Amino acid sequence: TFIQKKTAVSEIDVSSIDIQFDANITAGNLIVIGILTLTTLATPNFTITDDLNNDYDTTLPDVSGGLNLRNAIGKIVYAKNVTGGPCTITVGLSVSSLIMCCACEYSGMNITAPEDGNNQNTGSDSNPTSNIVTISETNEILFGVLGTDNIFSTPVITAGLSNDRFNHPGTI
């Protein structure tokens, strides 16, 4: 079940950004963070920490695509079975970059192995698509990150879950 969401966007190049939830997070829940950076470095290193010492899994593959003069890097990280309380998350990078983040808290998720599948795609047109993701558990969420770097607009990030839970295994 979706509990809360908080976003943070830097307006200049920075090496870290903080995301502070409005309400305390609940012990045992899942935190998922979608991150988009715009950097000249092909593969920056990410560090994710919070003031409750939760452990963030950063092993999901990065997604990158060269856009204009910068490289857009998308990343999804998560912390399972979190410690509860007031929570400020710090997303750090090995280089200075524009950083856009969306952190979401969920309850009732698998607290031992919450990631069932992942896939990624890059593109450069006005109709972005993802690749197929096959899910095998019940009551799963679909979390995605979509970013754009258009020379005619401000870079934006959209992250979150589908409006519906997927109540049966299958292919999305």
Contact (Cβ atoms closer than 8 angstroms) between residue 15 and residue 46: no
* Full-model pTM: 0.79
Give pLDDT tens digits for 50-101: 999 999 988 776 766 655 556 677 788 899 999 999 999 999 998 888 888 8
